[in-house]
Amino acid sequence: MAGVVILIIFLIALLLIISCVRIVPQAHAFVIERLGTYLETWDVGLHFKVPFIDRVARNVNLKEQVADFPPQPVITKDNVTMQIDTVVFYQITDPRLYCYGVEKPILAIENLAATTLRNVIGDLELDETLTSRETINTKMRASLDLATDPWGIKVNRVELKNIIPPTAIRDAMEKQMKAERERREAILIAEGEKRSTILIAEGKKESAILDAEAEKQAAILRAEAKKEATIREAEGQAEAILRIQQANADGLKMLKEAAPDEGVLTLKSLEAFAKAADGQATKIIIPSEIQGVAGLVSSITEVAKKES
């Protein structure tokens, strides 16, 4: 019987020891109280507590957390009521302050975010609210971070998730956007037509320039061809004159070498007159002084001799 009692006591002591051994996981912290008073904060690792005296008051998550708050009604500077919901990214930096700084910290952050959002939006008009998300986020983060610092909470980022204007405002904005798109479309069409007209005009201009250049080249080629033909014609005439002169010179030379007498010259003169009479001539006038003609031929012969 005593052995059973000892075994029971041993088991109870073992269970008690096991219950006093606690392991703190990564990114967590345990807040320890002794007799209802804050004792210490356990970090990651193996820890022991005094049984029946110490207790783990809270297991605090040190990871960055996200709090998505429902839409809040806010009024802009120009008296437009809209719905805005926010997302707050926060992280617990001091577990002790988080446990004892404020009751229900997340609810406190939600209410603080709502009031801060109303204050920020109240200084902006509708258009500024829709286009100044980054400014609103920065102001809210700075204000929330300052307010939550005594609670051991650091606000890392604040984002406006949705901005929902009234239905009438949304309809007006859609009409405005539609008108703006139509205006841009008209501008693009006009720019396209303008560009097309410019390209057509430039094409006609380049075509006219090319036609004029082609006509110029054709005129130059025609002038050069005409010049070449004139030169060849002149060269041909000069060659013909040269050959005629050469033939005359050869005839005179042959006449000189033949040394014709006056009878031959007279006969040749008559043959010349006969050739002149051959054809369309109806009358022939023969000089009475045919010997004078022969004498003239003799004179020409003498001149030819002297020149040679």
| φ and ψ of 78, to 5 deg | -95, 25
**Is residue 129's pLDDT more than 80?**
yes
- Per-residue burial over 231-253, b = 16 or more CB atoms within 10 Å of its CB, e = otherwise: eeeeeeeeeeeeeeeeeeeeebe
Q: Can you tell me the distance from the alpha carbon of 265 to that of 260, in angstroms, rounded to the nearest whole number?
A: 7
Residue with tokens 């405002």: 169
Q: Can you tell me the distance from the alpha carbon of 164 to that of 86, in angstroms, rounded to the nearest whole number?
A: 12
> In terms of pLDDT, which residue wins out, 210 or 305?
210
Q: Which helix (H) or strand (E) holds 253?
A: helix 167-258
**Is residue 83's pLDDT more than 80?**
yes
User: What residues does 199 pair with on adjacent strands?
Assistant: none
Q: What DSSP character marks residue 285?
A: -
Local confidence band at 245 (pLDDT 50, 70, 90 cut-offs)? confident
User: What residues does 77 pair with on adjacent strands?
Assistant: none
Average pLDDT, the chain: 81
Class of the CATH-defined domain 65-165: alpha beta
Reported as half-sphere exposure (CB side, CA atoms, 13 A), residue 287 has a value of 12
Helices in 46-166 by DSSP H: which ranges? 95-100, 105-122, 126-131, 133-148
Q: What is the pLDDT of residue 72?
A: 87
What proportion of the chain, given as a percentage, has pLDDT over 90?
23
Q: What is the pLDDT of residues 158-191, one digit of tens each?
A: 998 888 887 877 787 778 888 888 888 889 999 9
85, 74 Cβ separation under 8 angstroms: no
User: What residues does 155 pair with on adjacent strands?
Assistant: 90
Looking at the whole model, is its pTM more than 0.85?
no
Q: Can you tell me the distance from the alpha carbon of 249 to that of 242, in angstroms, rounded to the nearest whole number?
A: 10
Which stretch, 30-44, 218-232, 242-256, 277-291, has highest mean pLDDT?
A: 30-44
Secondary structure of residue 128 in the 3-state scheme:
helix
Local confidence band at 303 (pLDDT 50, 70, 90 cut-offs)? very low
Where in the chain are the domains? 19-61, 65-165, 259-277+285-308
